[in-house]
Structure 1
Amino acid sequence: MSETQDNAVRTYIHGHRAAFLDDLAEWLRIPSVSAQPEHAGDIRRSAEWLAAKLKESGFPAAEVWEVPPAAEEAAPGAPAVFAEWPSDDPDALTVLVYGHHDVQPAAREDGWHTDPFEPVVEDGRLYARGAADDKGQVFFHTLGVRAHLAATGRTSPAVHLKLLVEGEEESGSPHFRALVERHRDRLAADVVIVSDTGMWSETTPTVCTGMRGLAECEIELYGPGQDIHSGSFGGAVPNPATVAARLVAALHDEHERVAVPGFYDGVAELTDPERELFAELPFDEDEWLRTARSRATLGEAGYSTLERVWARPTAEVNGIGGGYQGPGGKTIIPSSAMLKLSFRLVAGQDPDRVEEAVRDWVASLIPTGIRHEITFGGATRPCLTPLEHPALQAVARSMSRAFDGRKIRFTREGGSGPAADLQDVLGAPVLFLGISVPSDGWHAPNEKVELDLLFKGVEASAYLWGELSASRTARS
């Protein structure tokens, strides 16, 4: 980690900055919107553009992977891109970088100041759909690896480097796990780096250590064969809307803990060092509430707001319905009611076990005379890398070098994503390297990336391959 090498990295990046931005702008002009079928051709064009550019940047192998339809589907999924740059060292660590090349829908009339697919640089910011989420953060690795080679004098990276860039993340990654399972051997890695995340703020660089998982279900409740008169039958037959309300009321206890028996089985508890690190972050709860458009915090007793949204499992009612919804009164016992529930999961929880626990809990609360059906969607597993993991420390050192020796803090993500599928299928720890900040406006009009931070990402990427290699050497 010499100062000379760091200066060489920065010099190389500065010399190639303009060409890098020109290439990125060209990619951003492709409206690769996975949610809109009319952009299927653009998704393919985006994948082909990236594969060609990766080869141009030095990757010996880069190819577009087709995504076959699932058994019940007619149409194939959006194409992904795979690239590989082997190290000359046969014993080198193998690292897989994940990102995505599809983007959210965007149109000028949504509130954009400019055409969302015509990149514009203003005041040190690059505005375009995908600038931060996720094309910019995928693309910084192309310049980063070349800066790594130039500064070290190597002809190949210090690690066996692989890239997997999917085309359906913004549509929920419906085929992603099957894609990873199909290409398990090609994707095999010792470490997975996810560059589809962000930092706490421009002045507080951070590294994410994990994401929560997700399980979702819909509960249908059926009572009388049709809506019936509440005067003639009320108080004498079970009411499915009342049962729905009782299920909701029973979901949490008086301490806001999830009351489903077995729900917390296996939960990895927060350690004292993790809680101390969370507490060090400059968190403004009042500002957070304004962002949430809420008037008060509420959650599991004994935990801070950040701990609740990053490191604790939750259960939420996403929807509830049944009976008459029109104006005025209608004195009936409805024939049916429904609930939609979601469960955010943390490390140690198994989505299959959670599903079984929820099914048993629902069944135990359904009275005679009410028929119920419960349907679960596809689940996402949680992922977490321990703070002491050598590869995580390598990421933190790379970020610190890029940010002029600044202390790197650690966060988690409260949401869920496909990263856990990589951890689950490949059996490799998942690490996060991202430079986006909350003001970048992912999924919103006028999405942007701060150019200074984008090139900090390039720099961190350039340092990372050597840091990861050194972490392995130190362990051996």
Structure 2
Amino acid sequence: MSPAEAPDSVVRVVRAYIDQHRAAFLDDLAEWLRIPSVSADPERAGEVRRSAEWLAAKLSETGFPVAEVWDTEKGGLPAVFAEWPSGDADAPTVLVYGHHDVQPAAREDGWATEPFEPTIVDGRMYARGAADDKGQVFFHTLGVRAHLAATGRTAPAVNLKLLIEGEEESGSPNFAALVRRHADRLAADVVMISDTGMWGETTPTVCTGMRGVADCEISLYGPGTDIHSGSFGGAVPNPADEAARLVAALHDADRRVAIPGFYDGVVELTERERELFAELPFDEDAWLGVAKSHATQGEAGFSTLERIWARPTAEVNGIWGGYTGPGGKTIIPAEAHVKLSFRLVAGQDVDKFQQSIGAWVAAQVTPGIRYEIEFRGATRPCLTPLDHPALQSVVRSMGQAFEQKIRFTREGGSGPAADLQDVLGAPVLFLGISVPSDGWHSINEKVELALLAKGVETSAYLWADLAEHWAVGQGQQSDRPSQARTN
């Protein structure tokens, strides 16, 4: 897509405003990063609340007329909600999602600096949460102020809402309930996720979707207790044998998932989407090095990127049963277990998927073996059509900020974005500036300050572009990815 450039006067004002306020912005971000809002540590629950209160106060200071700390159910950790109405009757409503909780971190883990004392070295700010996700949440505060300065408005060109979660790093246990409880106040035309990244520092990209995930444990039971393999072997069903047969039957010779109905509804890649993935500078050998694997493997007919971004998968996470101690023990075990996880893509229905798993297991298991299947919940996939007007606004705005072509990726993993999509009925888009070297969840997490400034600048252009193109684009978007203009 060739970005429609903002007027030079707007660009000059935005960049000058960011330059003028850069130091204060980084000081504020550093102050927030000093709060160790580790949601996984019960002893730091108070710090997570302090982080939420700090952010709500800062959003009020930024200009949001509504900035509230929202408690979650079951004694969970708080989220932050903020709202700044546009005042324009036909303005679209955008809900920005991020999170203010962080992963655990300690100097003795191998950090070169104190993880909760932000340190700037060579244009990078090192601290836990610098990229994941406080830095990427916080760039919107300076971005909206630069937007107002450049447009002369007193309120954003869109109805701007923020929902900043406090439990994302702990699996978002209360997030779906929070969204359902406040669905009326969270209502939006578009959800913007600022908890993602780009391909690399010199290859800015926009993510267009995330896979969903579902997992289950299958327990297989045979004799009432472990029994002698000499006396009974070859004459009664063996649960460990059944577990092995079940796992072996999971894929066919082309590494396609062999569960009947598994691919029902899958939104297939278009040729244009495959071309866009192929444009990325993917080094498969380097990727294998990160994976610490010696070879690639997967569904026949698809590239590595297509497999991890756009195809559903089934993986064995664990298999066990019988005797696993030293030496031998000649038994037929009483039970065996298999843990499976499935990455789902757009078009797959989670409820139908679970029914397919149940029917498949029933058909595979030998008579005389009792089995149980425990599903542990599921996250639905989300996918934004390439021609969606809001996505095109993101691409134009990023193109203006980065002054180069913006390419497209997807995420192989899963997140709470689908909860927002399901409850609010709004499409999900992604705006992030983090890069793989930022070290999410690792030691020495950092954010590139130059890219952080590009995030601010993208946010500054985005709201006016989205407001301008929204009404026209609503009549043009399709129900699935299309041949978007990308050159």
> TM-score, normalization: structure 1?
0.98
Match in the other structure for 2:481: none
* Aligned residue number for residue 133 of structure 2: 134
- The aligned residue for residue 260 of structure 2 is 261
CA distance in 2, matches of 1:288, 1:470: 40
| Cα shift at 1:149 | 0.1
Give the superposition deviation at 1:367.
1.2
Alpha-carbon displacement from aligned partner over 1:333-376 (angstroms, at most 9, x marks no partner): 00110000000000001111111100110111111111111000
Q: CA deviation at 1:315?
A: 0.2
Paired amino acid for 1:47: A
Indicate the SS of the match to 1:342: strand
How far apart are 1:471 and its partner, in Å? 1.4
The letter of the residue matching 1:140 is F
The reply on whether 1:57 has 2:55 as its aligned counterpart is no
Match of 1:454 among 452, 455, 465: 452
Q: Distance in 1 between matches of 2:423 and 2:272?
A: 29
SS at match of 1:377: strand
Deviation at 1:309, TM superposition (A): 0.1
CA distance in 1, matches of 2:354, 2:54: 41
Task: Give the residue type in structure 2 aligned to 1:429.
Answer: P
Q: Partners in 1 of 2:422 and 2:72 — Cα distance?
A: 20
Query: Which letter maps to 1:63?
Result: E
Q: Number of residues paired by the alignment?
A: 469
- 1:364 aligned partner: 363
Q: CA–CA distance in 1 between the matches of 2:270 and 2:464? A: 30
SS in 2 for 1:221: strand
Letter of the aligned partner of 1:135 in structure 2? K
Aligned mates of 1:239, 1:248 — CA distance in 2: 15
* Structure-2 residue corresponding to 1:202: 201
Quote the residue 2:464 is aligned against: 466
Aligned to 1:19: 24
1:430 aligns with 2:425: no
Q: Which residue of 1 aligns with 2:242?
A: 243
Match of 1:66 among 65, 68, 71: 71
The RMSD of aligned alpha carbons is: 0.7
The residue number in structure 2 matching 1:72 is: none
| 1:78 partner SS | coil
- Superposed CA deviations along residues 16-44 of structure 1, whole A, max 9, x for unmatched, are 00000000000000000011101100010
Identity score, percent? 77
**Distance (Å, rounded) in 2 between the aligned partners of 1:6 and 1:353:** 50
What's the offset of the Cα at 1:473? 3.9
AA matched with 2:182: H
Q: State the SS of the aligned residue for 1:267.
A: coil
Aligned residue in 2 for 1:390:
389
Pick aligned residue for 2:408 from 404, 407, 410:
410
- Counterpart of 2:138, as a letter, is F
**Distance between the aligned counterparts of 2:471 and 2:382, measured in 1?**
25
CA distance in 2, matches of 1:394, 1:414: 24
Structure 1 letter corresponding to 2:24: A
Does the residue aligned with 2:176 lie in a helix, a strand or coil?
helix
Structure 1, unaligned runs of 5 or more: 70-75
The one-character-per-residue Cα deviations of 1:166-206 (angstroms, maximum 9, x if unpaired) are: 00100111111111111000000001100000000000000
> Displacement, 1:467?
1.1
Instruction: Provide the residue aligned with 1:222 in structure 2.
Output: 221
Aligned-partner SS, 2:71: strand
Superposition deviation, residue 91 in structure 1? 1.7
Instruction: Specify the SS of the correspondent of 1:19.
Output: helix
Give, in whole Å, the separation in 2 of the partners of 1:13 and 1:85: 21
* More divergent stretch after superposition (41-50 vs 364-373): 364-373
Q: Distance in 2 between matches of 1:384 and 1:339?
A: 30
Counterpart pick for 2:440 among 437, 442, 445:
442
CA deviation after TM superposition for structure 1 residue 234, in Å: 0.2
Tell me, which stretches of 5 or more residues in structure 2 are unaligned? Answer: 1-5, 476-487
The superposition leaves residues 93-152 of structure 1 with CA deviations (integer Å, 9 ceiling, x where unpaired) of: 000000000000101111101110000000000000000000000000000000000011
In structure 1, distance between residues paired with 2:470 and 2:433: 25
Inter-partner Cα distance in structure 2 for 1:349 and 1:150: 44
1:474 Cα deviation after fit: 3.1
| Counterparts of 2:461 and 2:351, CA distance in 1 | 39
Partner AA of 2:470 in structure 1 = R
Please identify runs of 4+ aligned residues in structure 1 that moved more than 4 A: none
How far has the Cα of 1:256 moved from its partner? 0.2
Q: Which residue of 2 aligns with 1:91?
A: 90
Structure 1 residue 90: deviation in Å? 2.1
Looking at structure 2, the residues matched to 349 and 179 of structure 1 have their Cα atoms a distance apart, in angstroms, of: 25
Secondary structure of the residue aligned to 2:160 is: strand
- 1:270 equivalent to 2:269? Answer yes
| Aligned pairs (5 A) from 1:81-120 | 81-120=80-119
Tell me, in whole angstroms, the C-alpha distance in 1 between the residues paired with 2:110 and 2:352. Answer: 44
Name the CA distance, whole Å, in 2 between partners of 1:207 and 1:467. Answer: 16
Instruction: State the one-letter code of the partner of 2:10.
Output: Q
Per the TM alignment, residue 470 of structure 1 is displaced from its structure 2 partner at its CA by 1.4
CA distance in 2, matches of 1:29, 1:204: 31
State the alpha-carbon separation in 2 of the partners of residues 77 and 361 from structure 1.
37
Aligned match of 2:153: 154
Secondary structure (helix, strand or coil) at the match of 1:39 reads helix
C-alpha distance in 1 between matches for 2:79 and 2:355: 34
Q: Secondary structure at the match of 1:471?
A: helix
Encode CA deviations 1:275-321: one digit per residue, 9 max, x unaligned: 00000000000000000000000000000000000000000000000
